[in-house]
Structure 1
Amino acid sequence: MKGRTAAFAVAAGLLAASPALADQGCAGVRAANSSRLVVQVAGVRPAVGEVAITVYPDDKRRFLAKGGKLARQRVRAAASVRACFWLPQGSYAVAVYHDRDGDRDFDRTLVGLPAEGFGFSNDPETKTGLPSLSAVRFRVGPGERLAPIQMKYLR
């Protein structure tokens, strides 16, 4: 019985020390060549519903396309929210929206304008339409990369 207890204690210690388990708040799998992307979204109002934070690869065919995402996290809405992702080093884009009603769909008005808050990495101008991938692309190098985004509301 002592042998089983000792083996269980060792196994529990190894699991507790596992980097994958220590980083459960981050989407993706931590690997030797992974970097940590932290997305910080500010200006969320009101603090109801959730904020969807989506990471896209450096591929204009996949940017904002159905099924084009690499990873997504949904976090409870607050004035400022954070999400993190383990990613290989490379170039990416991030899009966010404030899903106030929790329907997991980006709502639009009758004329097609955004009815919910939204934002992109690099905070590009969006008055004339959606930004290009080149306007929102950023590089994730070794270590940790912070991507601040300001939520925008049209009304």
Structure 2
Amino acid sequence: MIQKWTVSVMLMATLGNLGWLLSAKASFNSKLTVEIEGLKNKQGQVCASIFSSSQGFPSDRKRVLQRQCTQISETPLILTFDNLKAGSYAVAAIQDLNGDGTLNRNSLGMPVEPFGFSRNPTVSNSAPKFGDAAFILAGPNTVIQIQMKKM
């Protein structure tokens, strides 16, 4: 009888500690490092936007959680984003050749500047859905690679 009680108390203490650890992990802030690969030249800047939901992904600036534009000084280009909570995110990136901060398109609506997305989904006639580009940010430091493409 005493052994069952001791095992129960130990199990409850372990589960309590596990719950505390999980809640502690969920409350810390993470750093995301984005490696931009496939840049064919150092012209312009790279702008990367982080989205935390499908609303507005990939181009609505009002729905962007964090955005960063950086002149291209080296390849691959490294961007870092701080103070992100654990969760699901997607990143959209462009090589902004003319410095206007937007992905320029031709008369048919096709991009004329290089672009890329987290998880490097296949892109044909339209931008990927959030779920195709989403990744889980769960640790203190996460690194992803984005391969830039041009249509």
Q: Tell me the TM-score range normalised by the shorter chain.
A: 0.7 to 0.9
Partner of 2:90: 93
Rounded to whole Å, the distance in 2 between the matches of 1:66 and 1:34 is 23
Q: TM-score with structure 2 length normalisation? A: 0.77
Query: Which has the larger share of helix?
Result: 2
Partner of 2:76: 80
Partner of 1:34: 29
Deviation >6 Å, runs of 4+: none
Consecutive unaligned residues in structure 1, runs of 5 or more: 1-31
Say if 2:124 is the partner of 1:132: no
Match of 1:45 among 22, 40, 55: 40
Consecutive unaligned residues in structure 2, runs of 5 or more: 1-26
Aligned length: 122
SS in 1 for 2:122: coil
Rounded to whole Å, the distance in 2 between the matches of 1:99 and 1:62 is 20
Rounded to whole Å, the distance in 2 between the matches of 1:129 and 1:63 is 12
SS in 1 for 2:63: coil
Rounded to whole Å, the distance in 1 between the matches of 2:130 and 2:119 is 11
Partner of 2:57: 63
Rounded to whole Å, the distance in 2 between the matches of 1:52 and 1:137 is 18
Q: TM-score with structure 1 length normalisation? A: 0.75
- Deviation string 1:63-91 (CA, Å, 9 cap, x unpaired) is 22231100011111243211111201111
Partner of 1:11: none
| Structure of larger gyration radius | 2
SS in 1 for 2:46: strand
CA positional deviation for 1:62? 2.9
- Deviation string 1:8-27 (CA, Å, 9 cap, x unpaired) is xxxxxxxxxxxxxxxxxxxx
Q: Could you tell me which amino acid in structure 1 is paired with residue 46 of structure 2?
A: V
Identity %: 30
SS in 1 for 2:132: helix
Q: Could you tell me which amino acid in structure 1 is paired with residue 38 of structure 2?
A: G
Q: Could you tell me which amino acid in structure 1 is paired with residue 39 of structure 2?
A: V
